[in-house]
Structures are given as C-alpha cells and as structure tokens.
Amino acid sequence: MAKPPAKRPGANKSSASKTMPGQTRVLRTKVTKKSGLKESSRRWLERHLNDPYVQRSKAEGFRSRAAFKLIEIDDRYKLLKPGQRVIDLGCAPGGWCQVAVARTKSPEDAPRVVGIDYLGMDAVPGAQVLMMDFLDDDAPAKLLEALGGEAPDLVLSDMAAPTTGHRQTDHIRTMHLCEVAADFAMEVLRPGGHFLAKTFQGGTENELLAQLKRAFTSVHHVKPPASRDESAELYLLARSFKGKPV
C-alpha cells in the first residue's frame, strides 16, 4: 500500500475511496488557505498531492508520474521488447529510462538504453545518461557512440521546452523539439523501429506528419490515461520505420 505523502504546512490529510489499478486506496490531502500560498499555487499543490499517479509513482519507485504514460502506451502498442536498444531524449528525471530498462531487460554492465538531458539526475541502473543538450551539434553522434554504434529500435522523446509564460511561444518551442526529435529518429532508427514523442493538440505540422507517414507504416496520436484530461499534450507514435523519405 502506498505511503501517505508527508504532511506539509497548511495540509490536512484524510483518506478517500478513489482507487486505480495497482493501488487499493489513495489518500486525499487538503491544502488550506492558511498555508500562505497563492491561491493558484495552493490549488496546484493540492491537485498534485492528490494525483493518484503521483502517489502510485512514489509507491512503485518511479521517478515521476510520467513513467505511467509510457507504461500505458507500451501496454497497448507493445513497443518495448527484451534486447532492444532505446534512446530517450530529454530523459530527466528518469521515469521513462526506468520503464525502458525494465522492459528491455537492459543489463547494468552493458546498457542498451541511452538517455540525454541537460538537467542532472540520479543514475538509472541499466541506462547510460549523457548530461548535455540534445540540440548540441555533437549530441546525435554521442548518443550513437553510447549505443556502440548500433542503430536504436526505439527513439523516445518526452521533451518540452522550459515555459516562458507566453502560451503560444511555449507551444512553438516544444513543437520545434518534436520536429528535431523526429528528424533524428528518421536518421538513426533501424528498419522496423518506432518513434514516440510529445506533441500538442493541433500542433503537429502537416509537413512533419506527411514526412512521418512516408517513413513509417503507421502514424497517429495517442493520449494515455495518465496524461491529465485538461492537458493539451498528446504523443505522436510512428511505428515500423521504412526508411527516411527522399
């Protein structure tokens, strides 16, 4: 059973009956107005503390609730298999690396999962993590070098640009990351490989979709249950790589 979150100033805990697969009970936490937080921050913290995926990630040892997005997508589409090589773009804090390592059975002494992020993070046994910006010119070569020069079976990207507070600007910057990740995937994937990346509703450019549809057998958007209903995020899934279009 999940341990209840630590009590914070202004927070009162009470149990509730809300449940989800893998967890029998989720404790509800109320953050009072006496906490000293701004109202928007108070509501965010209360939602975060009461998020069943947040509680479940802590109970099951995952770095973040985002791990369940990959778990749910993989349970449906069977992307990860033992022995595969995986590249995880924007991997911090490591939740997707953890899932990829477990499902590919990546060995600690010869990792087949390679992640990259300019943010620091704790090591994930079975994964090699490069602490650098994926947009650096030499990043693609270093990722392939870390895989021993072998082509990956799967390229993952949960990258999102740091927010500026301007919604349209943030949207454009994250979409750019999706496009760069897609171009990288089409350069390095082995035939039959897959690509999964974060995007936003209505944000994937028609030109990029057309490219992917020429390069992969199937291309569509996925919104896993772990992705919050109010969030505009989607995941772009391209399966069975045929080769980069000319």
Active site residue 198: yes
Stronger pLDDT, 230 or 206, i.e. the higher one: 206
CA-to-CA separations, 233 to 18, 64, 106, in angstroms, rounded: 24, 16, 29
**The pLDDT of residue 40:** 53
Please enumerate, by residue number, every residue annotated as part of a binding site for S-adenosyl-L-methionine: 94, 96, 117, 133, 158
**The pLDDT of residue 20:** 46
Please enumerate, by residue number, every residue annotated as part of a binding site: 94, 96, 117, 133, 158
Amino acid identity of residue 144, one-letter, is: L
Tokens 């509501």: give the residue: 43
Amino acid identity of residue 229, one-letter, is: D
**The pLDDT of residue 14:** 38
Token representation of residue 185: 């995937």
**The pLDDT of residue 142:** 98
- Secondary-structure percent of the chain, ordered helix, strand, coil, rounded to 5: 35, 20, 45
**The pLDDT of residue 168:** 78
51-78 burial by CB neighbour count: b if 16+ within 10 A, else e? ebbbbbbbeeebbbbbbbbbbbbbeeee
**Mean per-residue pLDDT of the chain:** 82
Share of the chain above pLDDT 70, in %: 74
- Among 150, 149, 147, 204, CA closest to 181: 204
Q: What is the mean pLDDT of residues 16-32?
A: 48
Instruction: Indicate whether 113 pLDDT > 80.
Output: yes
∠ at Cα 171 (170, 175), nearest 5°? 115
Q: Residue 232 — very low, low, confident or very high, per pLDDT cuts 50/70/90?
A: confident
**The pLDDT of residue 157:** 97
Q: One of 30, 142, 198, 244 is an active-site residue; which one? A: 198
Ranges in the chain annotated CATH 3.40.50.150: 67-241
Pairwise CA distance, residues 94 & 201, whole Å: 25
- Among 184, 224, 236, CA closest to 74: 224
Instruction: Indicate whether 98 pLDDT > 80.
Output: yes
Of 59-63, 92-96, 145-149, 236-240, which range is least confident?
59-63
- Strands 27-31 vs 127-131: parallel, antiparallel or unpaired: unpaired
- pLDDT tens profile 45-92: 555 455 565 667 676 667 788 999 999 999 999 999 999 999 999 999
- pLDDT tens profile 151-192: 999 999 999 887 777 777 777 888 899 999 999 999 999 999
Yes or no: say if 91 and 129 are a contact pair by the CB < 8 Å rule: yes
Instruction: Indicate whether 5 pLDDT > 80.
Output: no
Residue 139 three-state SS: helix
CATH class in words for 67-241: alpha beta
pTM > 0.95: yes or no: no
